[in-house]
Amino acid sequence: MHSFGYRLNGLLTFAVTILALMCVIASLSDNLNIPSPSAEIQIMNINWFQKQPKGSDEVILRMNISADLQSLFTWNTKQVFIFVAAEYETRKNSLNQVSLWDAIIPAKERAKFWIRSSNKYRFVDHGKNLRGKEFNLTLHWHVMPKTGKMFADKIVMSGYSLPEEYI
């Protein structure tokens, strides 16, 4: 029981077990953090609202997004992925979610910010239902850890609406 092979095997098994245990504990420590994020989105302007030649409505809008997400970061956080989605319902669909803009926050210092941007991704409906449509803007975040369980949540901001007629 004293050969090199046995000792190496024992050492490696122990090392891997301890490493796995450390990853689990690191992940569990994330539960101790109680986040208190805040965000605000204003629609500065609707630049484009037309129906596409072959069918569906499309919107281009410019937003002012400000948020303080610093409380989401723990020592086990690698990055926080955030995105803004427009959510609305139509006659045919009980829920539509369209992602308009996203960003990656790599560190706590960058988590308090404001940015003005038009939508990164096309806001296209599944039809022609957007005239006069009321919709929510939700800021979703996804906390990606260095190791372990990922957390996701969102803030829903309601009360936005599109013009009654195409621009």
Partner 1 sequence: MGWIEENMKSTHFRQILSQAISLGMVISSALIIWKGLIYITGSESPVVVVLSGSMEPGFKRGDILFLYMNKDPIRAGQIVVFNDGRDVPIVHRVIEVHEQRDSKEADILTKGDANPHDDRMLYTSSNRWLQRKYIMGRAVGFLPYVGWLTIIMTDKPIIKYILLGALGLLVITSKE
φ and ψ at residue 93, rounded to 5 degrees: -115, 130
User: Would you say 149 and 82 are in contact if contact means Cβ atoms under 8 Å apart?
Assistant: no
> Which of 49, 100 has the CB closer to partner 1?
100
Shortest distance, position 56 Cβ to partner 1, whole Å: 11
Among positions 60, 144, 155, 157, the unique one binding partner 1 when judged by CB under 8 A: 144
**Structure tokens belonging to residue 67:** 């948020």
φ and ψ at residue 18, rounded to 5 degrees: -65, -40
Among positions 49, 72, 137, 145, the unique one binding partner 1 when judged by CB under 8 A: 145
**Structure tokens belonging to residue 128:** 């022609």
Shortest distance, position 7 Cβ to partner 1, whole Å: 14
Give the CA count within 13 Å in the CB-facing half-sphere of 27.
12
Among positions 134, 149, 156, 161, the unique one binding partner 1 when judged by CB under 8 A: 149
> Which of 38, 93 has the CB closer to partner 1?
93
In angstroms, rounded to a whole number, what is the distance separating the alpha carbons of residues 154 and 58?
25
**Structure tokens belonging to residue 21:** 């245990």
User: Would you say 103 and 132 are in contact if contact means Cβ atoms under 8 Å apart?
Assistant: no
Within 56-115, the residues that bind partner 1 by CB under 8 A are 78-79, 81, 83, 85, 89, 91-99, 102, 104, 106
> Which of 40, 127 has the CB closer to partner 1?
127
From 17, 28, 155, select the one nearest 85 (Cα to Cα). Answer: 155
With binding defined as CB under 8 A, does residue 147 bind partner 1? yes
Residue numbers at the binding site for partner 1 (CB under 8 A): 23, 27, 78-79, 81, 83, 85, 89, 91-99, 102, 104, 106, 121, 126, 140, 142, 144-150, 152, 154
